[in-house]
Structure 1
Amino acid sequence: MVITSIADAVTRQVEAVGDSVNEALFEPVIRLGVTGLARSGKTVFITSLVANLLDRGRMPQLVAAADGRIEAAYLQPQPDDTVARFAYEENLAVLTGPTPHWPDNTRGVSELRLSLKVRPTGMLAGMRAARTVHLDIVDYPGEWLLDLALLDKSYEDWCSHVLTRLAGRDEATAYLAAMEDVDAEAPFEEGAAKALAGHFTDYLQAARLAGYSDCTPGRFLLPGDLAGSPVLSFAPLPVIDGRPARGTLRREMARRYEAYKSKVVKPFFRDHFARIDRQVVLVDALGAIHNGPPALEDLRQSMADILGAFRPGRNAFLTRLLGGKRVEKILFAATKSDHLHHSQHPRLSAILQALLREAKDRADFAGAQTHALALASLRTTTEASLTHHGQEVDCVRGLLLDSGKRAAFYPGELPADPAHLLSPARQGAERWLDQDYAVMRFAPAPLSLRPGEGPPHIRLDRAAQFLIGDKL
C-alpha cells in the first residue's frame, strides 16, 4: 500500500510537471471544477457559461470580452479520453428550444474544453499575436461531493456523525428501527448487510427529497455500475468501545466502509480534484431557507465538510512544478437569484457569506482568493411591483413548472441581518418564528436570442471575470 501510494504521488508529480511546462511555454490551461449539492443548478450553470463565452453579447463584466480582446471562442475535444464529454449541445437545445425545459441532473463525471483566442494587452500588444487559453470545465454529481469528507473519518467517526444527525428526523424512523433489530456482534451474513444497506439507502433518498444536504455516501444515491456490490452494502451502526470481533457484522461493515474510501472516494479525488485550478461552489440557499432551520443548518455543516477537502492556495510556478497544486480561486454562488426581486439580491449574498463564513475564512487564510455572489445561470423571470393589502411588494413573474401558467410570486423578504436565520438554525429551531419563506419552481421561458447573444442570466459575467479574467 505504501509503495502504491508513493508511485501514485510520483505519477501525479510527473503529470504536474508536464502541465506546468505546457502552460508556461505554450498555451495556458485553466481547469475549472463545478460543484454543488443536488438541485443547485450545475448543468445549467455550465451550459449557460459556455454559451455566453461563445456569444459574448451579455458579458459586459468580463473585461476581455468588453474590450473586444477575445477574437474567437470554440469547442474542442476534451483532453481526457476516458472521461465523458459534457452534453453541451443537448443541454442548450432543451433550454432554448421552442418548448424549453430543464435538463437532466448530472449522473457522472464529464468534461468540456472551451478554447479562447485572446489578443494580449500592454505596450507590446501590437507586436504579439493572439494567444490561446484553454478552459477545461469538469462537472460531477453533487451527490458525490460530501464523500470527500469521509477521507479523514474512521468508520466509528462516520457512524457517530451520521447517527447524531439522524436523531429526530422522521425520514430515518424506518432505518433506525431496522438497525435496532440487527445484532451487530453476530456472525456476518450477506443478507442482513444488504437489507440494512437498503434501508439506509431509502433513508438517504427520503432525506434528499426533504431538503437535507448531508446524504453520504453519495454513491448510494447514484451507484452506476457499482449497484449491488459489497462496496455499497454497508450502513452505520451504534458505536462501541474497542475493536469489533473478527467475523462479525460490525467488523465487515467497517471493512466495506474503508473499501469504499479507498476504491471509490480516493480515486475520484485523485483523478479530478487534485488537478483543479479554480472552483465554483453552487449553493441552493433559497431552497434550504424554504425547508426550514434544520435544512439550513445541515447545509452549513455540509458545505464546511466539503470545503475542508479542498486544498486552497496560490499556484506558484515552483509549487506546481513540485506537484503541490492548489485551488487558487473559489467562487461561492447562490443560484436561482431570479426567484427574488433584485432589491433582495444583496441580502441573499450576505446570507451566503455568513453561511459559509468558517469555510471561507479557512480558504482565505490558506491564500486562495474567494468571492461570494448571488447569480442566476439562466434568467427565467421578469420583475414587477404589485399592490397587496394596500402595500406595494416587489415580485417576480414567470411560468410555473408544474402548471405552465404565468404567475407573479413574492417569496417573502429576506432579513437584512443573516443572523436572524443562522442563529435559530444553529440553536435547533424547527421552524421560522416570524414568517415562512416560499419557493416557486419556474420553468425556463421561451427565448428569442439575437446574433451574438447568449442566454439571459444574472451576474454570470461577474462570475466569469473572477474565475478566469486574470488569465485573459
Structure 2
Amino acid sequence: MTTLTSLTDEARLVISNLADTASDLAVPSVRLGITGLARAGKTVFLSALVHNLIHGGRLPVFSAAAGHRMTGARLQPQPDDAVPRFDYEAHVCALVKDRIWPESTRQVSELRLTIAYESASYFYRKLGPGKLHVDLIDYPGEWLLDLPLLGKDYATFCADALSRARAPGRADIASDFLAQMAEVRPDAEEDEATAQSLSRTFKTYLAACRADAHALSMLPPGRFLMPGDLDGSPALTFAPLDIAHDAPPARAGTLRAMMERRYEAYKTHIVRPFFRDHFARLDRQVVLVDVLHALNAGPDALKDLEVALSEVLGAFRPGKRSWLASVLSRRIDRILFAATKADHVHRSDHDRLEAILKRLVARAADRARFKGAEVDVLALAAVRATREATVKHGGTELPAILGTPLPGERVNGESYDGETEIAMFPGDLPEDTDPLFAKADPRNEAAHARYEDAQNSLQFLRFRPPQLDTTAEGLELSLPHIRLDRAMEFLIGDRLA
C-alpha cells in the first residue's frame, strides 16, 4: 500500500502553505472546497452563495449579515494564476435570465470573494473594519473517487473493481465488459489494440452505471468519465484484469504489466497532482449529496452512494485548526454534508431527509470528529425552485409543492413542456430510515418489501429555476434558497466574528 502523499509532496505542501500564510498577514483567507458526486448541484451552490452575498440576499441565520456587520462583498482576481476562473457571471445568467440550470462542473475552477465586515468583538471593532478572502474551489465529485486509488496498488484496484462489477446490482450492466475481460489472458503479450478495446468497454460500463436509471456512484477511475484533454492518452487507457490479489509481480512485456504501468501513471500524473495542488490545501469542505436521486433509482443506488461517500471521505485530512498546523500540514477543520434539492419535498420532510444523509455519512462524520474537525449535516436548496401549498385529494388536504417541471419530466404518464406550473404531492419520506438501508441481500424478501413500501410512494421531479421576485421599485431580488444561510454560518461565520 502506498500513502496519499510522498515526502516530496509534503515538502511542496509546506512551501505552498508558507506562501498562503504570508499573504494572509495582510488579509486573512479561507479556502473552501465545494464538491459532490454527479448532479449534486455544485455549480448551483457556489453561484447562489456568491449571488446572495453580493446582492444582499435574505440570510437570517448568517450572523454577519443578520446583524448588519457585513458591509459588502465583491469578487476579486483569484490568487492562483494556473487555475481556471469559475464562470460565475455565465452561471447566474443561466439561472436568472434563462431559467435553466448551468452546466455541470467539468474541471477545477476557483473564485475569490472578499467580504468586508465589522467585528462582533468590541476590541477588534476599535481596530477598524475587517476583510476576509473566501477562496471557493469547485471540482468534480468524480475526481474525489480517485483519491482512494493513491493507497491501492493495481491488484487491489482490480479486485475492488471486479467485485463491484459482479455484484447483483451491476452484473447485467457490466456483462459486455466482463465477457470481454474473460477472454483476455493477463500474461499474454502486451497489445495496444487489446488495451484500447478493453478500456473502451470498461468506460462504457462506468457511464451506464452513472445514467439516471441506475444512478450508481462508485465509478473510479473518475477521469474515465470526464477525460478532457487527456482523452486517448495511455494514462487513461487501462482496465482491471482478473488477477489474484496475491499474484506474483507481473512479467515484463505482458498485458498485465502494461495495464499496471498505465494505472500507476494515472495516479502519478493525474490523481496525485490534484490531491497535492488543490485538495490538500483546503481549509473547509462542503460535500453535496443528491439523496433524492439515489432514492428514485432504488436500493442499489442508495447503498452504492453510502459506499462511495465512505471511500472518498476517507481521503480527507480533517483536524483541529491551529496556526502551526496550517503552515506545516493544512487540515480541513469544518466539513458540511448537505442533502441538496430540499425544495423537492415539503418542509415537513426536511428532518427526514437530513436523517437519511446522516445514515449515509455516519462513518465518515465520526472519523472527522475524532480527528478534531467540526461536522454538520443539513438539508438545503441553494436555489429554491418550488413553493409550498396545500391541495385537496379525495377530501384530504395534502402538503404540496408548486413548480415548473423541466421539459420532458413526466407524472402519471403526462409529459411537461417546461412552461406549465403544477402542484404535486411528492410523497412522504419514511420516518424510520432502517428500511431504506436494510436491503443488502436480494433474497431477503421481507427487507425488500419494507424498502418498496418506503420508496414506491415517492416521486421526485426536476424543476426549472424560479422567476425572481421584484420589489415595488422594480429591483430584482437575490436567488431564493432553503438554509443556504445556515450553511454560510457554519462554514465562515466564525471567521467573521
Structure-2-length-normalised TM-score? 0.91
How far apart, in 2, do the equivalents of 1:91 and 1:395 lie? Answer: 29
Partner of 2:411: none
Aligned to 1:397, the other structure's residue is in SS state strand
Partner of 2:242: 238
Partner of 1:465: 489
1:356 aligns with 2:375: no
Partner of 1:217: 221
Gaps of 5+ in 1: none
Partner of 1:320: 326
Root-mean-square deviation (Å): 1.9
How far apart, in 1, do the equivalents of 2:493 and 2:467 lie? Answer: 30
Q: 1:430 to 1:208 in 2, by over 3 A?
A: farther
1:279 aligns with 2:303: no
Report which stretch shifted further, 392-401 or 67-76.
392-401
Q: 1:116 to 1:182 in 2, by over 3 A?
A: same
How far apart, in 2, do the equivalents of 1:83 and 1:126 lie? Answer: 35
> Cα deviation per residue 1:216-261 (whole Å; 9 max; x = unaligned)?
1111111111110100010011122322222111121111111111
Q: 1:5 offset after TM fit, Å?
A: 4.7
Partner of 1:114: 113
Partner of 2:425: 410
Q: 1:412 offset after TM fit, Å?
A: 2.2
1:337-356 residue pairs with structure 2 within 5 A?
337-356=342-361
> Cα deviation per residue 1:1-58 (whole Å; 9 max; x = unaligned)?
99x95444323212212322433x3211010000100000000000000001112231
Tell me if structure 1 keeps the 8 A contact 2:13–2:329. no
2:297 aligns with one of 287, 291, 298: 291
Q: 1:388 offset after TM fit, Å?
A: 2.5
Tell me if structure 2 keeps the 8 A contact 1:59–1:65. yes
Aligned to 2:12, the other structure's residue is in SS state helix
Q: 1:423 to 1:449 in 2, by over 3 A?
A: farther
Aligned to 2:122, the other structure's residue is in SS state coil
1:156-305 residue pairs with structure 2 within 5 A?
156-167=155-166, 168=168, 169=170, 170-209=172-211, 210-240=214-244, 241-305=247-311
**Identity, % of aligned positions:** 47
> Cα deviation per residue 1:103-135 (whole Å; 9 max; x = unaligned)?
111111100000011112223355221111000
Q: 1:96 offset after TM fit, Å?
A: 0.4
Report which stretch shifted further, 426-435 or 86-95.
426-435
Q: 1:430 offset after TM fit, Å?
A: 6.7
Q: 1:444 offset after TM fit, Å?
A: 1.1
Q: 1:408 offset after TM fit, Å?
A: 2.0
1:34 aligns with 2:34: yes
Aligned to 2:401, the other structure's residue is in SS state strand
Report which stretch shifted further, 459-468 or 416-425.
416-425
Partner of 1:68: 68
Tell me if structure 2 keeps the 8 A contact 1:226–1:232. yes
Report which stretch shifted further, 113-122 or 239-248.
239-248
Gaps of 5+ in 2: 408-416
Tell me if structure 2 keeps the 8 A contact 1:113–1:136. yes
> Cα deviation per residue 1:316-343 (whole Å; 9 max; x = unaligned)?
112223x111000000000000000000
How far apart, in 2, do the equivalents of 1:294 and 1:425 lie? Answer: 8
How far apart, in 1, do the equivalents of 2:314 and 2:20 lie? Answer: 25
1:447 aligns with 2:468: yes
Q: 1:361 offset after TM fit, Å?
A: 0.4
How far apart, in 2, do the equivalents of 1:469 and 1:152 lie? Answer: 35
Q: 1:386 offset after TM fit, Å?
A: 1.9
